[in-house]
Amino acid sequence: MARKAESVTKAVPDARTRAVDALMTLAAEARWDSITLNEIATKAEMSLADLRDLFPSKGAMLGGFIRRIDRQILEHPAEDLAADPARDRVLDLMIRRFDALKPYRAALRNIHRAFRSDVMGLAALNSQALNSWRYLLASADIDTDGPLGFLRLQGAILVFARIFPVFLDDEGEELPRTMAALDRELKRGEWVLRRAEGVQRLMAPFQGFCRAARDARRRHARGSESPPASDAA
């Protein structure tokens, strides 16, 4: 009997999960800017004070939802693709992320509509996306350090953002329109990245020369600041 009670207890969602679920349920039924904190608390079956302890804003709850989706992807990395080209690994990440988002499309449509004209909101979402894709690309063993790494990171975000509206209106179970658009955008992004890698290789000798010249100027500047020997005496 005790074991049965324990399993029932484990099945009850925690407060954070209930709050995020409440937000996404309400977002599927109403405009984003019409959803109030009181409504979220009521839907989540908690007090407004408890909701405040969990999240400072609706945007933070949306961030909690994004982290939930990221965790689903990160907990099940595609190890069988480790030897495949980077493009295939990124494609797999994006397909799995779109699959994870499918149950929430009604809510995401309303959220997307609200954020299109919200500059501050879009900036916050991009910051969240940088954190998300840094981890997602790491799970596919794709480096995001340095200038080229940042280009890969921001490129993945841009590709996903460009495909997202297609995904929201793609009613096919296998997301055929989304897959076709994703293939096109990844090919375009791959071409841009190859050009950037070529430019970096061309610029590498000049960058080394510039660093050497800069270091020489600094050494000269430090030497000119030293007092003359006669003054030191």
- Return all residues near 111 (Cβ < 8 A) that are at least 6 apart: 27, 32, 62
Residue 34 DSSP class: G
Where exactly are the structural domains of the chain?
80-215
pLDDT at 8: 45
pLDDT at 114: 92
Q: Coil, strand or helix: which one is 221?
A: helix
pLDDT at 185: 86
CB 98 within 8 A of CB 165: no
CA-only gyration radius of the chain, Å:
25
Task: Give the pair of three-digit tokens for residue 28.
Answer: 């599927």
Distance between CA 31 and CA 193 in Å, rounded?
A: 38
List the chain residues with pLDDT less than 50: 1, 5-9, 196-210, 213, 231-233
pLDDT at 123: 85
pLDDT at 217: 57
pLDDT at 81: 76
Distance between CA 41 and CA 36 in Å, rounded?
A: 9
- Return all residues near 221 (Cβ < 8 A) that are at least 6 apart: none
CB 148 within 8 A of CB 197: yes
The per-residue pLDDT for range 1-19, each reduced to its tens digit, is 455 544 444 566 899 999 9
